[in-house]
Structure 1
Amino acid sequence: MMVQEGQPQGRERPVRWSHVKIWSVAVISITFLSTCFIVSCVEKVWGCCPSTWKSFGSSCYFISDEEHFWSKSEQNCVRMGAHLVVLNTKAEQDFLVQQLNESLSYFLGLSDPQGNDSWQWIDQTPYTENVRLWHQGEPNFSAEECASIVFWSPRGWGWNDVFCDSKRNSICEMKKVYLS
């Protein structure tokens, strides 16, 4: 008896392409998931921000839509586990201003409590080592001991010294929560 090529002989079963496809998909999926798991275990870095906060770099930002004095704005940030924003780079400011309303002014975490041009960031970041993005001619009045970011046409966004007891919006900042 002659056996035709491609016919099963004895107990051999024919190869079904549907089984090959299923096993191929399973192997590829397991490989992909394993790779993702290994990468996440090695990096141990999944940074998260609260849902209403904006994410940039290693920080999360909350843009308040309520006006308060500088000290009350800081208290509100602290209550949320944050502080008034500390701007470290122009890129950070460029990101934030895209989220801001050009008709409003926002408190920064920058103040000059003695009014002697000794500006300090709320988180103790050295003022002299940080970016300084004051509007031209600012700061200009020693009684204005807090800083805000404000849009002035045609100059754009920049910092302005303001009275701490003026009511303004604010920006809070917290470090991202990292899950491992």
Structure 2
Amino acid sequence: MEDGVYDDVGSIYSLRVNFTAGRETLLSSIRNLTEERDQLKSSYQILTEEKEKIQNKFQTFISQTEHEQILLKCICVHHSVKEKSCFEDWKKHKNSFYFFSTEHKSWSAAREDCRERGADLVIINSRVEQNEICSFFQMFLTDQKKDRNFWIGLTDENTENMWKWVDGQTLTDKFWKKHEPNDANDGEDCAVFTTTAEFGWRTWNDISCSVRENWVCEFNTAKCHRMSNSTKIVKLY
């Protein structure tokens, strides 16, 4: 009987020793994993900070490039003799110049291209301007496929059905095609100018912003007046 008790006590003691050793091993592994986790968090934080620095530098570069392009175009507007070289492949109407792309990009990529040119996606504020752009398209597409979409600077990405231009203005004059905008499949938040002739001057349609389409950039010379007033750039003329 006593031998059996001693055996049981020995087994329990052995189990306790093994449990303690296993517990220490587990705790050691947890400590190691915790240290590795902290190191990874530290590395992630460093990488995040580096990423933000790179993004800030890139944004600064883009802003400087955009500013320089605006300045260059303003100087060209002031010295009309240089206008042709600065606005090669652009169409002029009153105080605006228009660039019609031949490439295809998403709405955001198209807008980035316009801004790199010192411009932005086109804003259409009146029936007169809408008709003028229709006329440009008729000339531009003489030898090309006429059923095409061109991004314009109009979106309701921020608030559904609250259509705004890229300069922050709320849409007033509207030239949507019949039954548009319809936000098909809850995913059409950017506007295109459709060149299909059957719709006359009502040419706008809403489609997904990720679709790759042509686009129209606009440079309005009012930017030059604002820039002159705010930065005295007029002295460079």
Q: TM-score, normalised on structure 2?
A: 0.52
Q: Is the 8 A contact 1:109 1:121 kept in 2?
A: yes
**Bigger share in strand:** 1
Moved over 4 A (4+): 45-49, 177-180
Partner of 1:26: none
Residue among 79, 97, 104 paired with 2:134 = 97
Is it true that 1:122 corresponds to 2:166 in the alignment?
A: yes
Larger radius of gyration: 2
The structure that is helix-richer by fraction is 2
Q: Which position in structure 2 is the counterpart of 1:38?
A: none
Cα deviations by residue, 1:123-158 (Å, 9 ceiling, x for unpaired): 11232xx31100111000141000001033522341
CA contact (8 A) 2:148 2:196 kept: no
Query: Where does the alignment leave 5 or more consecutive residues of structure 2 unmatched?
Result: 1-77, 226-233
Asked which structure has the greater RCO (Cα within 8 Å, sep 6+), the reply is 1
Which residue identity is paired with 2:135?
A: Q
Q: How does 1:101-112 map to 2 (within 5 A)?
A: 101=141, 102-112=146-156
Q: Percent identity?
A: 30
Structure 1 portions without partners, runs of 5+ = 1-44
**Is 1:170 aligned to residue 226 of structure 2?**
no
Q: Find out whether 1:83 has 2:128 as its counterpart.
A: no
Between Structure 1 and Structure 2, how many residues are aligned? 134
User: 1: distance between equivalents of 2:88 and 2:197?
Assistant: 32
Q: What CA distance in whole angstroms lies between the structure 2 residues aligned with 1:67 and 1:167? A: 5
Deviations 1:1-49 (A, max 9, x none): xxxxxxxxxxxxxxxxxxxxxxxxxxxxxxxxxxxxxxxxxxxx77646
Out of 140, 143, 154, the position equivalent to 2:182 is 140
Partner of 1:59 in structure 2? Answer: 96
Q: Given the two structures, how large is their TM-score scaled by the length of structure 1?
A: 0.67
